[in-house]
Amino acid sequence: MPHPPDTQHDAVPFGSNAVRLSPGEWIVALVLIAAVLLALPGAWQRLEPLDADPDGRLPYRLANDYGAFGRIARAAAGRGDTLVLGDSVVWGHYVRPAETLSHYLSAAAGGGGGAGGGRRFANLGLDGIHPAAMAGLVEYYAGAVRDRDVVLHCNLLWMSSERHDLATRKEFAFNHPRLVPQFVPWIPCYRESISRRLAIAIGRPLPFCAWGSHMQAAYWENLDLAAWTVKYPYSWPIRAEGLVLASPDEPPSPPPDARPWTEKEIAKFAPAWVDLETSIQWRLFRRTVEVLRGRGNRVFVVVGPFNEHMLETASLETYKKRTADIQAWLRAQGVPCMVPDPLPSDLYADASHPLAPGYRMLAERLAADEAFRRFVAREGEAR
């Protein structure tokens, strides 16, 4: 009679095809995986072309691709450009790349007798960014911006209500939540789970995480790899012939109505301006200034130009008080700044975005401003 199998000794606990690694083999495997994760982002950048056009800007479709922003910032800083940093007003929501503030500043600087004697200004605007997110963008993705000249835009639209200021306690979706502080200061309307907040905070300094987000935004329709392969089961997710980023000339979607605000039946309004002492956005704008200066950058702040023609009388008085307080703080910190006079009414598309002639006029006013002229004339001084 056959002897029954000794289940204690004959059973295969991990399955017949299992491969068990020794402690030494685990160390080797982990080292190899870490090497791939560290090397892949850098290798990918050498394969993927980067548009080096003088009027280049981050393509609209890549507004959430912070790794691509960091790459553009690194290239501009390496060229020695003066970097123009801000939200969609700097990016140029209603205009083409050759009609932005940075373009007209470069034209003024290279036109002989202009503000910068041939200096070039690079567009580091990001559509939809707000001060709370800008602080994270600069801190975690603009590390290459060191010992440079930076023109920083301050848009008071982000302080025009508790909702814009992220101070309301009611949850709502806002732009660039991965860039805002996950814990301190605590943002009342941001209701992400603690585990997700930790994952975001841990992933920020990791190049591989930025590369993964770049692939999702640039090639995988903002899907993760698993979801993309389910949608396209017979396609290869990485194709060498497909390594072409979206064009900076691509307009926002849907295309914006690039007419003056007076032709679009937009009424005047009276924003409920928040107090600067309690404003989350103002607190984090100051952090952006401090981070930039802490890296040896020289910073010039442009406050506005807000469309003051849209404001009711009482609200306009409050706005002017806010700009005066911001200007006083900047000067107390030794940061040169300018609060430009409002542009003609028909040169605004909405409450804060100029049209192309408005950007040209703003650049000309900056070029003529004494503080700005001193700022650009001190190129190369010790920081």
For 20-32, write each residue's pLDDT tens digit: 888 887 888 887 8
Q: How far apart are CA 10 and CA 181, in angstroms?
A: 55
pLDDT at 112: 35
pLDDT at 114: 42
Three-point CA angle 147, 204, 199, nearest 5°: 160
Domains in the chain, CATH or no CATH each: 68-191+260-377 (3.40.50.1110)
pLDDT at 113: 38
Torsion angles phi and psi, residue 66, rounded to 5: -75, -25
Residue corresponding to tokens 């009611």: 170
Q: What's the pLDDT tens digit per position in 211-225?
A: 888 888 778 877 888
pLDDT at 61: 87
The residues with which 303 forms a beta bridge, in sequence order, are 154
Q: How far apart are CA 181 and CA 191, in angstroms?
A: 12
pLDDT at 14: 53
For the entire predicted model, the pTM comes to 0.86
Q: How far apart are CA 105 and CA 100, in angstroms?
A: 9
CA distances for 247 relative to 59, 132, 236, angstroms: 6, 27, 23
Looking at 269-312, list the stretches that DSSP marks H as alpha helix, in order from N- to C-terminal side: 280-294
Kindly give the parts of the chain with pLDDT less than 70.
1-18, 51-52, 111-117, 239-243, 379-383
The residues with which 125 forms a beta bridge, in sequence order, are 86
121-125: strand order across its sheet? 121-125, 82-86, 149-154, 298-303, 337-338
Residue type at position 31: V
> What is the end-to-end Cα distance of the chain in Å, rounded?
92
